[in-house]
Structure formats: C-alpha cells, structure tokens
C-alpha cells in the first residue's frame, strides 16, 4: 500500500512539474508583437484609416517605445486640436504623436 501511495504521489508531482513547464514555454515567434489578444499590426490595420483622416495627420506607423510596440502618428504641427483628436492608447498599445512638418513625395529625382 505504501508503495502504491508513493507511486501516486510521484506521478502527481511529475504531472504538476510538466504542467508548470508547459506554462513557461514560449509560443513560437511569428513576428507579430502583441499586448493582449490583438497584435499591434491588427490594431494598426483597424485604426489606420480613421487616424489618417484626422486633419493635420500626415502619416502613421508602428514602432517601439521603451522596448514595447506602439503606434506612431505623424502630424504636420502639434496643436491642441490634434492632441485632442489622437488618443494616448489604442487597444492596449501606446500612441505617440510626432511633429514632422509637411511630408511631400519626391518627384522621381
């Protein structure tokens, strides 16, 4: 009977150990960085058009800030209006506003 209990306790400890190890194993890196259930790319794709439609916004992209993924919104001029229109966070990702001035495409030179 003692041997049976010892085997059961050992088996239970092995199962707990394996379960703990599985919880610590990282998922395969797919290149998408996520802060929850949606990747930064998915959040960017969802909000890109509405962000670019804000007057004064000249560009948008994905970057890292303090080692974490974030959205970058480029504005011609930082004004109270643009600061009021651009959120500080979207779906758990920080939104950074950068004043870049006007952005013009090169004419092929």
Question: Does 85 map to a domain?
Answer: yes
The range of the structural domain enclosing residue 54 comes to 40-99
Could you tell me the CATH number of the domain that includes residue 45?
3.30.300.50
- Evaluated on CA atoms 18, 19, 24, 29, the torsion sign reads positive
Q: Give Cα 23 to chain centroid, integer Å.
A: 21
CA distance 85 to 40: 20
Please state, as a whole number, how many other Cβ atoms lie within 10 Å of the Cβ of residue 78.
14
Give the global pTM.
Answer: 0.63
Q: Provide the domain count of the chain.
A: 1
Question: Does 104 map to a domain?
Answer: no
pLDDT digits (tens, 9 = 90+) for 22-75: 443 333 333 444 455 889 999 999 999 999 999 999 999 999 999 999 999 999
Question: Does 91 map to a domain?
Answer: yes
Predicted confidence at residue 105, as pLDDT, reads 79
């Amino acid at each position: 009977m003692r041997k049976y209990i010892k085997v059961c306790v050992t088996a239970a400890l092995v199962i707990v150990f394996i379960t703990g190890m599985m919880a610590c194993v990282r998922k395969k890196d797919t290149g998408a960085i996520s802060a929850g259930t949606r990747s930064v790319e998915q959040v960017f794709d969802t909000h890109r058009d509405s962000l670019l439609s804000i007057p004064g916004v000249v560009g948008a992209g994905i970057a890292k800030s303090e080692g974490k993924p974030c959205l970058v919104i480029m504005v011609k001029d930082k004004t109270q209006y643009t600061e009021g229109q651009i959120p500080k966070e979207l779906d758990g990702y920080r939104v950074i506003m950068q004043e870049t001035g006007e952005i013009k495409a090169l004419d092929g030179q």
